[in-house]
A and B are shown apart, each in its own frame.
Chain A
């Protein structure tokens, strides 16, 4: 099917593979087309859609590699074969890239309609020892987070969307009890903000302000109104942005606000990060079971731990940079983090 004069039809099919320069937004179809045309990877208005007016103005079919890879198999084995797996509305299989807090990570191909529980526990092997799965982010950096108690629902396009996630790229990032969901949302929003093509004001400027609010919250300087402001900005950004990147970018924040609002509240009201992730909200102090070995004081990079033989060592919290080294090195578990 490749090359000149396919099956004697006089039609040619040539494949040329173009390597992108690494911009995330070039996963958006029109930005990708601009990029292949040699222009800056910026999304264009739709309509006209690429199917009508795409690469150099010609009708263009844009699909993921995974979709194209299915085509020869469907041609060879037939539609019924393809529909034999999956569900009636979501036929076939889907490849997920399983990562984060599961024992088995990597690419897995599963039938559509499998539940997240099956995916994460039966295939992923569940959370590492000593922790429990908290949530899974589906669909890539701008996907929403689905909490553990919703994971018995089947994985298909509609269900994921309803839950606030998405199929997207098939990314699946698993978080566990040691993950701070506010920090998690901040991380991914930081990524999409950085990768916005910079065209739309809401996407370019709005995600930046959301990010700053999240930084404030994880710094212990959040205000209660911040949660409303995040919801407001998220709504404006996803409703008014031109392309999928901007429209989806707030989703990690929106979904964590929906399912993990209590974590936001504890950062803001109690200035506590329950997962112990947000550095500014942590304090280290040395417990009475300190054997005054002095190891922490020697390892502290600042250094801000003082003490001498026979007494309990003390951390100067004004100077502590919350690196956690003392907590890690203490052979007696005498350095507590709260």
Chain B
């Protein structure tokens, strides 16, 4: 590709053809402000914050949005004239005129793009007062609340839901000043195809999309003397919680977490990684069973509740392909209220199981009717996202990064590197293969890393020889990518084992993770997960002694009757089937 020469603020710059003015400016350390731009999404140029001055003929100038305007040879651009500063300030003032301006009581206080823009442009008064757009808050969803009055209509939620997730649960409606972002036909979000992935929340620059918080419920349980409160922590949380305490993305705090959780008052600290090891056993044996029975293929993973709901809405024809194994969260929850309760002679009705998840859809998963014990008790009682966990830690004055290390509680807190791998795209499949290959061919040297399944490509394809059989593999993350793979399978592509994670990057990029969750933080979190796996003494689930104990003492065989009863689930088609 050829290069283009242009001048920005008097500085000559050379960039590849097709670059935008924003990229050209970035290449010479000029940071043009944006509110609606996002690298991961198509460009809409809606906020107009990034307008820059482009010289035209005869001394004329015009303003163009840097986010979308392509560089042209010989262009003369200025990014910081008096007019531009003034225009940007006016744009911010116009947003404020139509905004609640309730920073002190706002969940996004100090992590809000609008607030930062106000600071950067020294907004010191409210210039325009007038009518404000108003639309009722939507609290129908179990994971996400929508606050349209805070919305600045940047369109990022609409785009991520469409372009990255392929769900189409949100769009612009109405025109002019009445323009609003809403679910179709102004339905409650809970009545739509929304899969509760939370990606829209991650993209929202302001507090228009929020967690539905269960902190109060957890606090009440912790204070209730009649409750025994257990907690499990998802794999990816250990490499992201530090970000809420000022650490850069990708610092693992695994051994600090048990200390922190005990300080808050949790009675037992378990590890979702254990549940992931168990899921490997169950799902791995399903794969082995299907290999012996000749199908149905592909076997599709089922740990990601956003993906499961997506499949039920849009691709219910794949229900027979889904692994029936429950997710690690539900496995730990179910085993806590059965195996653990029996072993410690605890009335399971006294147990209150909390899980700390990178995922907003986990809040949906725990209340699925399939995830109850025979007597109707829920397997997991409350989910906190990583962000809410951070809030809880701060309320309890726990400074996680400086805590001493300690261990998770035994058995349901014992895990391997394979369990950890569930937190990254491709990792669930890698973990399963580590076990399946060894079970099918015990003499083979265990292969632990599958480079085809690593990296951030949206759909990763590979193949592996298991015994004498070539298994075709694919891992997709981001549900729009899942659509592509499923459509390709419907068109005849042969895949034996398919991993789908709803969120880009897998759970490390989950809708419950700290802000910002972007390309850079996802990459660093993934690296930290791989590094931690490499450093662990056991990296195969079937070699986890705790797993063997639970099978021996309680469950019997993998995929056996009891295991099936407790650790497997069912799916059903959901309407609407989408658009």
Inside 8 A of A212's CB, which chain B residues have their CB? 130-131
Give min CB distance, B67 to chain A, whole Å: 8
Mask: chain A, 197-220; 1 = CB below 8 Å from B; 0 = not = 111111011111100100000000
CB pair B176–A198 under 8 Å, yes or no, is: yes
Q: How far is the CB of B60 from chain A (nearest CB, A)?
A: 12
Interchain CB contact under 8 A, B48 and A40: no
Q: Indicate if the CB atoms of A202 and B91 lie closer than 8 Å.
A: yes
Q: B5 near A: Cβ within 8 Å?
A: no
Assess the B177–A201 pair: CB atoms within 8 A. Answer: no
Q: Closest approach, in angstroms, between the C-beta of B84 and any C-beta of chain A?
A: 9
Whether the pair B176, A196 counts as a contact (CB closer than 8 A) is yes
Count B interface residues, CB 8 Å.
Answer: 37
Q: Which of B48, B174, B176, B179 is A242 in contact with, Cβ under 8 Å?
A: B48
A142 interface hit (Cβ, 8 Å): no
Q: Are B48 and A208 in contact (CB under 8 A)?
A: no
- Please state if B95 and A239 are interface contacts (CB–CB under 8 Å): no
1/0 per residue, CB under 8 A from B, across A11-53: the answer is 0000000000001010000000000000010100101000000
- The distance in angstroms between the C-alpha atoms of A323 and B126, with both chains bound, is 36
Please measure, in the bound complex, the distance between the C-alpha atom of A215 and the C-alpha atom of B90, giving whole angstroms: 20
Least distance between A40 CB and chain B CB atoms (Å): 6
Leading 3 A-B pairs by shortest Cβ distance: A198-B179, A205-B94, A45-B68
**Minimum CB–CB distance for B578 against chain A, Å:** 16
From A195, A200, A201, give the contact of B175 (CB < 8 A). A195
- Which chain B residues in 100-130 approach chain A with CB under 8 Å? 128, 130
Q: Is A224 at the interface (CB under 8 A from chain B)?
A: no
Cα A200 to Cα B36 in complex, Å, equals: 10
The chain B residue with its CB closest to the CB of A240 is B48
Shortest Cβ distance from residue A253 to the other chain B in the assembled complex, whole angstroms: 16
List chain B residues, Cβ under 8 A from A197.
175, 179
B65 at the interface (CB under 8 A from A): yes
A-B contact count (CB 8 A): 104
Asked if A320 CB lies within 8 Å of chain B CBs, one says no
Scan B128-154; emit 1 where CB is below 8 A from any A CB, else 0: 101100000000000000000000110
Q: A198-B172, A199-B44, A236-B91 are in contact. Are A204 and B179 (CB under 8 A)?
A: yes
Q: Are B87 and A240 in contact (CB under 8 A)?
A: yes
Known: A202-B48, A202-B94, A205-B95. 6 other contacts (CB 8 A): A40-B171, A47-B69, A200-B48, A201-B153, A208-B131, A212-B130
Expressed in whole angstroms, the Cα–Cα distance for A201 and B89 within the complex equals 12
Max count, chain B CB within 10 A of own CB: residue among A45, A194, A212: A45
Query: CA of A47 to CA of B44 in the docked complex: distance in angstroms?
Result: 12
Q: Is A241 interfacial (CB-CB < 8 Å)? A: yes
- Contacts A193-B176, A194-B176 known; A242 to B45 CB distance under 8 Å? yes
Q: Which of A45, A193, A209, A240 contacts B44 (CB 8 A)?
A: A45
A231–B68 Cα distance when bound, in Å, is 28
A-B contact pairs, 17 of them (CB 8 A): A42-B172, A193-B176, A193-B177, A194-B176, A194-B177, A195-B175, A197-B179, A198-B178, A201-B94, A201-B153, A204-B177, A208-B98, A208-B176, A236-B87, A236-B90, A240-B51, A240-B91
> What is the distance, in angstroms, from B452's C-beta to the closest C-beta of chain A?
32
Say whether A232 faces chain B, with CB atoms less than 8 Å apart: yes
Contact B94 A206 (CB under 8 A): yes
**Chain B contacts for A232, CB-based, 8 A:** 90
Rounded to whole angstroms, the CA-CA distance of A207 and B153 in the bound complex is 16
A233-B90 CB under 8 A given contacts A205-B98, A208-B130 = yes
Query: Could you say which residues of chain A place their CB within 8 Å of the CB of B573?
Result: none
Residues from chain A with Cβ under 8 Å of B548 in the complex: none
Cα distance A194–B175 when bound, in Å?
6
Q: Tell yes or no: B46 within 8 A of A by CB.
A: yes
Q: Which residue of A lies closest to B90 (CB)?
A: A236
Min CB distance B41 to A, Å, is 13
Which residue of the partner chain A has the closest CB to B94? A205
Q: Name A219-253 residues within 8 Å CB distance of B.
A: 232-233, 236, 239-242
Question: Does B264 touch A at the CB level, under 8 Å?
Answer: no
Partner of A241, one of B48, B69, B97, B131: B48
B503 at the interface (CB under 8 A from A): no
How many whole Å from A228's CB to the nearest CB in chain B?
A: 12
- Alpha-carbon distance A40/B68, docked complex (angstroms): 20
Is B457 part of the binding interface, using a Cβ–Cβ cutoff of 8 Å?
Answer: no
Q: How far is the CA of A47 from the CA of B177 in the complex (A)?
A: 26
Asked if B320 is an interface residue, CB under 8 A from chain A, the answer is no
B90-A202 in contact (CB<8A): yes
Residue of B nearest to A212 (CB): B130
Q: Are B47 and A239 in contact (CB under 8 A)?
A: no
C-alpha spacing A124/B177, complex, angstroms? 37
Given contacts A198-B176, A201-B46, A201-B94, contact A209 B130 (CB under 8 A): yes
Known: A197-B175, A200-B46, A208-B177. Contact between A242 and B65, CB under 8 A? yes
Q: Is B172 in contact with A201, judged by CB distance below 8 angstroms? A: no
A40 — which chain B residues lie within 8 A by C-beta?
171-172
- Chain B residue, CB-CB nearest to A206: B94
In the bound complex, what is the Cα–Cα distance between A242 and B46 (angstroms)? Answer: 8
* Closest A residue by C-beta to B91: A201
Chain B residues positioned under 8 Å from A207 (CB to CB)? 176-177
In the complex, the answer to whether B95 meets A201 with C-beta atoms within 8 Å is: yes
Residues of A with C-beta under 8 A to B46 = 199-201, 242
Pick from B83, B171, B177 the residue with the most CB of A within 10 Å.
B177
